[in-house]
């Protein structure tokens, strides 16, 4: 079986941190980095992770990606988001629901009705992030949620959907960024089902999951026991943001100013992580 790299959601801070982790691994253990990014490895990206997965799959060198994150100039748009207020909104929308899917349907209505940045402006940002606009040859999975039904959709090169639209849909945080219309259906952030949707790569081995958050937070565990159980006997390494990285993220992970410190903190954490991956990936 081939391995999988799972990249979770986490805003601009998460993009920077995940890139930082990967270049840190390369710094300390180049052979491990080469194995993680080998052509046969599946990339699964959710929300911010879909951007990183697409950048890597598109062939951009990790050094170039890191340089983009620590540069002062960026094409990224900032957004004011209060995480406490966002969590309160989630709690309000979840009151009385009978299933996770019903909650996502409520959330989808909220997302469609929200006053956000114009869709064309947001798509231009996503296009600026990606080195290519077509799906790469390697296996790349991008997740999003149907705002009407609350169901998960997984986009890949056989979906007949543009890569830019797929990533924009996966990154469409409800109430912050516009939903993305694809084939007459409006989609929102894939992280509204799960931060990583790691159950989708059942059968892969080994698995490396990068999640730019604490392992447990106000909304519960970042990765559920059920999701991990779906991976069976695979060797799974789950990496969460350490204290220094969480401090670098600040109070607003969608503020472009958090990119350089988040990337640097991720790089330091990646260097420390690399040795533990040697026997698994190298």
Closest CA to 45 of 1, 100, 4, 86: 4
Residue 247 structure tokens: 């401090």
Contact 168, 129 (CB under 8 A): no
Distance CA 191, CA 195 (A): 5
Rounded to an integer, the average pLDDT of 183-201 is 96
Q: Is the pLDDT of residue 77 over 90?
A: no
Contact 257, 188 (CB under 8 A): no
How does pLDDT run across 218-274, given as a tens digit for each residue?
656 778 888 999 999 999 999 999 999 999 999 999 999 999 999 999 999 999 999
**pLDDT at position 151, please?**
97
Determine what percent of the chain is predicted with pLDDT higher than 90: 84
Average pLDDT over the chain, rounded to an integer: 94
Contact 281, 39 (CB under 8 A): no
């Amino acid at each position: 079986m081939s391995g999988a790299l799972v990249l979770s959601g986490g805003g601009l801070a998460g993009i920077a941190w995940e890139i930082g982790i990967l270049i840190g691994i390369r710094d300390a253990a180049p052979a491990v980095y080469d194995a993680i990014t080998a052509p046969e490895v599946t990339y699964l990206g959710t929300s911010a992770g879909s951007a990183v997965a697409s950048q890597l799959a598109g062939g951009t060198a990790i050094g170039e990606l890191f340089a983009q994150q620590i540069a002062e100039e960026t094409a990224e748009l900032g957004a004011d988001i209060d995480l406490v207020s966002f969590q309160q909104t989630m709690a309000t929308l979840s009151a009385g629901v009978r299933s996770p899917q019903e909650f996502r349907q409520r959330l989808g209505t909220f997302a469609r009705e929200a006053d956000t940045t114009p869709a064309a402006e947001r798509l231009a940002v996503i296009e600026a992030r990606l080195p290519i606009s077509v799906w790469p040859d390697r296996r790349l999975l991008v997740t999003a949620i149907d705002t009407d039904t609350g169901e998960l959709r997984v986009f890949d090169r056989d979906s007949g959907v543009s890569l830019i639209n797929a990533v924009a849909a996966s990154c469409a945080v409800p109430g912050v960024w516009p939903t993305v219309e694809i084939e007459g259906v409006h989609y929102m952030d894939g992280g509204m089902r799960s931060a990583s949707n790691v159950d989708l790569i059942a059968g892969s081995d080994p698995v490396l999951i990068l999640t730019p958050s604490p392992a447990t937070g106000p909304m519960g565990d970042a990765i559920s026991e059920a999701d991990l159980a779906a991976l069976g006997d695979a060797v799974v390494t789950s990496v969460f943001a350490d204290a220094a990285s969480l401090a670098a993220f600040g109070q607003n992970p969608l503020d472009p100013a958090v990119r350089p410190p988040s990337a640097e903190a991720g790089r330091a954490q990646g260097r420390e992580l690399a040795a533990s991956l040697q026997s698994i990936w190298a």
